[in-house]
Amino acid sequence: MLKRIAIGFLGLCVLGALGLLALAWRSSIAPIDPPAAAGFPRELIAKGEALAGAGYCATCHTANGGAPYAGGYGMATPFGVVYSTNITPDPETGIGRWSEAAFARAMHEGVARDGSHLFPAFPFDHFTTVTDEDVKALYAYFMSRPPVVMFLLSCSSGVGQQFTFSTVPLGQCPDWTLKANLSRVL
């Protein structure tokens, strides 16, 4: 009897976990060819620039001494170090293939273009209230920045990869190491 109850309970747990997974799963949004910077109205880009300043996007998305918005800035969390991503329109290492819909979803819901959830180190919960008009302006601003190729290297293996999370403590994987490795890759 007890065994039955236990099995029943386990079954419920599995169902619950599957349910949560289904809720957490988000679809990927199709990649696009990076839009031409010239296609965005000047006023919209200017508005986006002001919003980017107000949202401190550069503070988190620029490594010490690194190219603006190319990412690689490390933030210590209780679980490890989260590195910001490249939000310049480079098609491979940045957000060049993100449609406006994908960008808007990231801003509003903290979900990346591929459907994966972003670490809450990206303060999307502060951005959820940003209006669609503001997201449009931010998108125009970022898509008209110069694209920067930016790979972060895993400081433990030295292998180039796209990563935003490392368990190596911040001080032991300084930004300059990331950048030094970077120039070797490029």
| List 111, 112, 153, 173, residue binding ligand HEC (CB under 6 A) | 112
Task: Note whether 84 binds ligand HEC by CB under 6 A.
Answer: yes
- Residues 7-46 binding ligand HEC (CB under 6 A) are none
Closer Cβ to ligand HEC, 5 or 134, answer by number? 134
Closer Cβ to ligand HEC, 56 or 176, answer by number? 56
Which of 185, 123, 186 shows the shortest CA–CA distance to 154?
A: 185
d(CA 76, CA 181): 21
Closer Cβ to ligand HEC, 75 or 181, answer by number? 75
* Backbone phi and psi for residue 78, each to the nearest 5 degrees, phi listed first: -60, -15
Residue 9's identity, in one-letter code, is F
Reading the block at residue 126, the tokens are 């502060």
d(CA 72, CA 160): 13
Binding site for ligand HEC (CB under 6 A): 52, 55-57, 59-61, 82, 84-85, 87, 95, 103, 106, 112, 118-119, 121-123, 138, 164
